[in-house]
Amino acid sequence: VLPVWDSHLLCEQAGKYPAELNDWERTVVETESAKPGFTYWYRNPQQPGQSSLGIAYEKSGQYGIVRPDFLFFAEQDGSLVVDLVDPHGLHLGDALAKLQGLAMYAASHPDVYRRIESIAQVKANGKLRVLDLKRQEVRNAIAVAQDAEMLFSSALADDYA
């Protein structure tokens, strides 16, 4: 039996969406759902297809696709806005390359999303930290970084709340 969540874009008649989310994903859904103006959310499928947002990244001359975990929709000043939020593990070998791909995507789509954020848990304090990929100085640092965890531990990142 899967847990069910409210306010998903593709819910069933009773308004519930079945999904098994890890700890970070649960925290993100609960946090984003509590923000002012929140309307609904979408769990971006990890498999290729028309229903999945895929963003290209390059690592060692090979291209891959990162599929950010969530899109959150909110009403702001009478308009619908979209936030792309991606909690991602820093232990993965492609963490920096995927972060760089997301940063390039953010630079290419500045007016499509209200927010584009990457979230990770840093080892030093165990906190979830967030990088705002719409900020030019964050994207500049990501472009030249050698280590993703250092970015999330730096002053460029904020505690996720």
| Blockwise average pLDDT, block size 10, the chain, 161 residues | 91 89 94 96 90 94 94 96 93 91 96 96 90 98 95 96 88
3-class secondary-structure state, position 91: coil
What pTM was computed for the model? Answer: 0.92
